[in-house]
Structure 1
Amino acid sequence: MPETIAVVPVTPLLQSPPAVPPAPQLPAHTQAGYPGFHHGVSLLHGWLPQVITFAAVFLLVLAFARFTRRWWLLWVPVCLVFAGAVVWASWSYTDNEGLASDPAPVLLWAAVGLAGAGLAAAVVGIRTGSWWQRVAAILAVPVTLLNVGVVLNQWVGYYPTANAAWAALTAEPLPHQTDLDALASLRDTNVGTGRIVPVDIPESGSHFKHRTEYVYLPPAWFQGDKPPALPVIMMIGGEFNTPQDWVNSGQIMGSVDDFAKSNNGQTPILVFVDSGGSFNNDTECVNGPRGDAADHLTNDVPDYVESTFGASADPAKWGIVGWSMGGTCAVDLTVMHPEKFGTFVDIAGDLGPAAGTKEQTVKRLFGGDEQAWAAFDPVTVMRKHGPYADTVGLFDDLTPPAAQRRMANDPAMRARMQQRQVDESKIGMGGQDGVFDTGEVGAAEELCAQGRQVNVDCTVHTTEGGHTWQFAAAAFTSSFPWMTARLGIPVAGISS
């Protein structure tokens, strides 16, 4: 992973005039690092990841150094073959499950190979060498596994700092977290910054078992004798997620607080929802064998937020922001339920709900029911629905890396790559668009083009960067003022 993530001003991708105003450029002080990004020791770059990698390699060298010549000739090749098998199995599983929107870096597979070699070396040579060599061999296993975790984290940006990782692992309270019972004592006071409230939303409309969810209440919510009917943004994270991810991994609250302060304390209510029920349950926000996530998000959440916090029930004042899988959810839920949501921001989402290829998706998410798949396929939904009355969407996606752009401009290389395009059944799945020269934006282009045919106002913005939480945070930060204005809260310089 690079030490910094390039963020450039978002620009319209489509040639026709954008229906949505361009999202404002990130403030200068946030372009190099988002608020909170550098609080604590970085896990994405700097000395700590380097020390962990060095320790893993060093212990592995000691583990192999204890082998005699006979052991080297016999068991070292076995260890290397085992390491290769571990890499192949890991890559095959990742590819088969459609777990990655971007190809994993070579460094990740190298780290996986080191871990496989360390495990094999510890097993086959546990009875040889001196005691300190045996200790080194045993320690090599957890340290090489830790190194895999660090490299994986560098790829996706899940924990930007050691502090963020520790806070998540120890379930520390979120910034400005307040109990629901304490809100009454803050009524009609100047709270300075907003409050985040953990909530247990009833499952009466879905029977979807979910974890604790969180509601951000801006300073304006506390003003007056009773809560104002503020608009709401539903915040949905990626495939592997917790409801706190936008706060802990995205670290967006610094930007939200700054914006609220500059806008007289007025922002929408943010609802950090649980779309999976558990960390590794990829529901893609649909109803199916993995749970009725769609019913929870479209029935349970709005009813609870409106009744508990006095939020507006006007669909024009409800929006959805989603990242990666959550971006797919944002589009899908909005076009399926225009009577509930009027605006969406899709940050690097797929063409539709995806759990591998289309065939795998239908089986895994819908129990093999093609009609159920069609009911949640946004392109099919839009075509069937016909013209929408007042639905607006913003797609914020990644431009391809510079090396890929250079290859795309090489006619010979372009011709060779076009001959190797992915199977049509996989287009839109796991981030695969079947479009070599536009990276992840192929799905966004197709969705927006279809949306425009049925009066969905939309535009596609592109930003250079990686498929990481830091990209998601930057996209949210740049679109938040526009979304706020779109939902009816005045913002200086932006019309609704």
Structure 2
Amino acid sequence: MLSPLDLSLINGPIPAAATVSGVVALVALAIRRTRTWWTRVLPAVVLACAAVVAGLNFLVEHVWKPFPEPLPVILVIWAGAALLAVCLAIARFRAGRWYWRIASVVLVLVVTTSALVTANAYFGFYPTSRAVLELFTNNRVDLDEAAKPATRLVEVPAGGRLADVWQRPADLPDTGTVSEAPIPGAFKARPAWIYLPPAYAATPRPRLPVVVLLPGQPGSPRDWFDAGRLTERLDAFAREHDGLAPIVVVADQLGARMANPLCLDSNLGQSETYLARDVPAWIKQRLTVDERREAWTIAGFSQGGTCAIQLAVRAPDVFGNFIDLTGQREPTLGTRADTVKAAFGGDEAAFTRVNPMDILARQRFPQTAGVIVTAQGDALYRRAGTEVFEASRNAGMDVVLKDLPGGHDWNVWRPGLYDSLPWLAARTGLSR
């Protein structure tokens, strides 16, 4: 039987029940029998909360502008509902009896929980309660222990494929390992998260392909393990391929959750040098990997997807493959003018030299392959993905376009990456 911990928090009865409960709780907080409440208190509280939410929304989208996308309307509404619930409870506190005060606190918690469940369902961040509980566990292994130097290596003939010579050892573990380690370099990054598949524990050890994976903005490398369910998905892939799977290094291209240095070398930092030089050098020095460019993939979602196409054209000698999951048309802080001003002091030509769409228009990349994923419900970036696909194909790349149902969220990013693994395995020698 399905455990209650494995019931979906994205679809089905739990999000629906949360929505109904939140609405009922808010209505209960809004109802009182006194005339003054209906004519003065309630209208004043509603108008004040609406003004605060509208003002905060304006500040976030037009003044602070921490990310280029507008705030989703449904999240703004539920944020307003949570604020209204708190204010209504405070207004009831002074005149209410003790049991109504306790009830008001409970009703506020119900509305707030409903708002959080709605936000989670919208972005598809935690698919189940089990995924939420895993936040409080630590299954990471020290990298020095997980990645001890190999004593012997699997030999693959020139022009051959690892899958043709690989034989699964009888004592191979069923699961891979997850480690966290800093990667030093030109950019001040947060520690990377590293997945090593079961085959990495084998003797002789195979030289495995590498995926440098990036989160979105705002975000952190851990997002791919919490919301992305990376460990369980890659372990499942490895079980179907005799323990083989790519090494995945989830690097930090942001520096901080809300930062956006655009994966460029600019006034905002040396993020491109870090990703194109420092991270690959550290991986090759620290891990047993297949060093051919054909075995290296740069991938990411949203802002990380934009970075993927950037690195594919800016560092084609490093990355032979890329996976762009609902990325933007170009690196952006909201508008071209804002981006050029912040990154290059207004120098449009400097931006044009590094902008992937401009590079694709003047160069050819016949040795590069990629997957571009768009979302049917992503009104903001679906067209951008199609334009990037056409530009990549015109530049000679071997590219595939996948248009998936869903929006700009994890409900698309998870299948977008994991459904591309068979394509990647064929490209990198993990399958016959």
SS of equivalent residue, structure 2 residue 134: helix
1:173 to 138, 148, 168: 138
Using the TM superposition, give the Cα deviation of residue 73 of structure 1 relative to its aligned residue in structure 2, in angstroms.
Answer: 0.5
Pairing of 1:330-341 with structure 2 (within 5 A): 330-341=308-319
The whole-number CA distance in structure 2 between the counterparts of 1:98 and 1:280 is 6
Offset at residue 64 of structure 1 (A): 3.0
C-alpha separation in 1, matches of 2:4 and 2:265? 39
Aligned to 2:358: 380
Which residue among 86, 95, 114 is the counterpart of 1:119? Answer: 86
The CA deviation at 1:444 is: 2.1
Partner of 2:397: 456
Distance 2:396 2:101 in 1: 68
Aligned to 1:409: none
Identity in percent: 28
Q: Distance in 2 between matches of 1:306 and 1:181?
A: 15
| Corresponding position: 1:216 with 2:176 | no
Q: 1:79 to 1:254 in 2, by over 3 A?
A: same
Is structure 2 residue 10 aligned with structure 1 residue 44?
yes
Distance 1:86 1:446, change over 3 A: same
| TM-score, reference length from structure 1 | 0.74
Equivalent pair of 2:326/2:372 in contact (CA under 8 Å): yes
Give 3-state SS (helix, strand or coil) of 1:458's partner.
Answer: strand
In structure 1, what is the Cα distance between the partners aligned to 2:104 and 2:386? 51
Superposition pairs for residues 242-321 of structure 1, below 5 Å? 242-288=220-266, 290-321=268-299
Are the aligned partners of 2:68 and 2:334 in contact in 1 as well (CA < 8 Å)? Answer: no
1:448-487 alignment, distance < 5 Å: 448-487=389-428
Paired AA for residue 314 in structure 2? M
In structure 2, what is the equivalent of residue 134 of structure 1? 101
Question: Structure 2-normalised TM-score?
Answer: 0.84
1:258-313 deviation line (CA, Å, top 9, x unaligned): 32222232222111222223322233333445543322222221111111112233
1:356 aligns with 2:334: yes
Q: Considering only aligned residues, what root-mean-square deviation do their CA atoms show, in Å?
A: 3.1
Checking the alignment, whether the CA contact within 8 Å between 1:164 and 1:248 is kept in structure 2 is yes
Structure 2 distance, partners of 1:67, 1:132, is: 16
Supply the AA of the counterpart residue of 1:348: T
- 2:103, 2:346 → 1: CA distance? 49
Farther off after superposition, 96-105 or 312-321: 96-105
Distance in 1, Cα, partners of 2:400 & 2:3: 29
Quick check: 2:357–2:391 contact (8 Å CA) kept in 1? Answer: yes
State whether structure 2 residue 51 is matched by structure 1 residue 88: no
Q: Aligned residue for 1:148?
A: 115
Q: 1:125 to 1:103 in 2, by over 3 A?
A: closer
Which residue of the partner structure matches residue 37 of structure 2?
A: 71
Quick one: distance in 1 between partners of 2:308 and 2:344? 19
Q: CA deviation at 1:243?
A: 1.2
Question: What is the SS of the residue equivalent to 2:211?
Answer: strand
Structure 1: how far apart are the matches of 2:4 and 2:77?
A: 27
Work out whether residues 213 and 251 of structure 2, in 8 Å CA contact, stay in contact via their aligned partners in 1: yes
User: How far, CA to CA, are the matches of 2:78 and 2:406 in structure 1?
Assistant: 23
Pick 1 or 2: higher relative contact order, CA cutoff 8 A, min separation 6.
1
Q: What residue is the counterpart of 1:398 in the other structure?
A: 375
- Tell me if structure 2 keeps the 8 A contact 1:239–1:284: no
**Counterpart contact for 2:61–2:71, Cα < 8 Å:** no
Flag the 1:463–1:52 CA change in 2: closer, same or farther, 3 A. Answer: closer
SS at match of 1:311: coil
Give the 3-state SS of the residue equivalent to 1:199 in structure 2: strand
After superposition, give the CA deviation of every residue in 1:91-110 in whole Å (9 maximum; x if it has no partner): 5456543847688364x343
1:206 to 174, 182, 186: 186
- The change in CA–CA distance for 1:160 and 1:135 in structure 2 (over 3 A counts) is same
2: CA distance between counterparts of 1:367 and 1:125? 53
User: Equivalents in 1 of 2:129, 2:52: separation in Å?
Assistant: 28
Asked whether the 8 Å contact 1:102–1:467 carries over to 2, the reply is no
**Equivalent in the alignment of 1:12:** none
Cα distance, 1:67–1:364 mapped onto 2, change above 3 Å: farther
Deviation at 1:155, TM superposition (A): 0.7
What is the count of residue pairs matched by the alignment? Answer: 411
> 1:77 & 1:105 partners in 2: Cα distance?
22
Quote the Cα distance in structure 2 between the aligned partners of 1:235 and 1:76. Answer: 49
Gap regions ≥5 residues in structure 1: 1-35, 402-430, 434-439
For the residue of structure 2 that corresponds to 1:214, the secondary structure is: strand
SS in 1 for 2:419: helix
Q: CA deviation at 1:157?
A: 0.6
Aligned: 1:157 with 2:138: no
Residues 376, 93 of structure 1: CA spacing in aligned structure 2 closer, same or farther, 3 A cutoff?
A: farther
> Which amino acid in the other structure matches residue 263 of structure 2?
C
Alignment partner of 1:78: what SS? helix
- Does the Cα contact within 8 Å between 2:272 and 2:311 map onto a contact in 1? yes
Contact 1:234 1:270 in 2 (8 A): yes
Q: Does 367-376 or 387-396 show the bigger shift?
A: 367-376
Per-residue displacement from partner, 1:314-335 (whole Å, max 9, x unpaired)?
A: 2222111211221111101111
Q: For structure 2, which runs of at least 5 residues remain unmatched after alignment?
A: 153-168
Paired residue for 2:72?
Answer: 104
